[in-house]
A = this chain, B = another copy of it.
């Protein structure tokens, strides 16, 4: 109940100019977020992998937000708190979802579009259909909708003590390629990294999203008052035998890169319905 005001994001940071374009000498502004929360080892490793490539600003959820998909916060206000969890990097903790973090970062922290947005490194896989449920990837997609090229990174290891050595190596390779490229501002890449020692990684592969998903089951239990409740659980099943998928690449020790789009129109079905539905 202190009256002390929390710091507000300032508009006059010298590194952050209003204009979205930068000269060759200017360092790019790199927005970093995630869905595991601002204190997760994954986001710390992401910062360390790219720290010298630009001006880094972190705006990330104050708590784990896995499985939040593209959720946004409509019915309640959001808060931003400046914190000091990452050495020498401007870091904000946000009460909202990963997508909220991107929106707030652009409008209230950076006051401009960053040159690139990086999300992760997620603790756990976001290949195949998981791209749809993933808060990590939804933050990246949100950035791309806002004309900010973006990459979501995920390591296939849920552990708090996961080894990010290989992930950091490929984060750097991919971010350097993105910064040097002239790809569309709507570009978004879904990058997954196998959880193997770095010397076993064979390189990266450009892939399509596999039709592989969790086959759900709910575990049913009773509370002490005799009322049922259900826990979501499930078994991962790959229905897609293609060798051009992210699931195949990961099983063969490649880093998978799936270019993602936010135009969800099924054009083949559109053509079919135009002919048959009158």
Contacts and interface: CB of A to CB of B under 8 A. Distances in A.
Interface residues of A, number: 81
Contacts of A177: 277
Nearest to A100: B232
Contact of A208 (B4, B183, B227, B270): B270
Contacts of A204: 277
The residue among A3, A78, A131, A270 with the most chain B CB atoms within 10 A of its own CB is: A270
Interface in A201-228: 204, 206-209, 211, 213, 216-218, 220-222, 225-228
B103 A216 contact: yes
Contact of A232 (B103, B216, B257): B103
Contacts of A188: 266
A227 B5 contact: yes
Interface in A239-278: 257-267, 269-270, 272-274, 276-277
Contacts of A3: 225-226
Contacts of A133: 70-72, 99
Given A68-B71, A70-B69, A259 B265 contact: yes
A93 interface: no
Given A108-B220, A208-B270, A277-B206, A69 B66 contact: no
A259 B71 CA distance: 22
A227 B107 CA distance: 18
Contacts of A184: 269
A100 to B, nearest CB: 7
B69 A71 contact: yes
Interface string A87-131: 000000000000110011011100000000000000000000101
A245 B228 CA distance: 45
Nearest to A220: B108
A258 B183 CA distance: 27
Contacts of A227: 5-6, 79
Contacts of A74: 66-67, 232
18 contacts: A1-B225, A3-B226, A6-B227, A64-B75, A72-B232, A78-B232, A100-B232, A107-B216, A108-B230, A132-B145, A204-B277, A206-B270, A206-B274, A258-B265, A259-B265, A259-B270, A261-B269, A264-B264
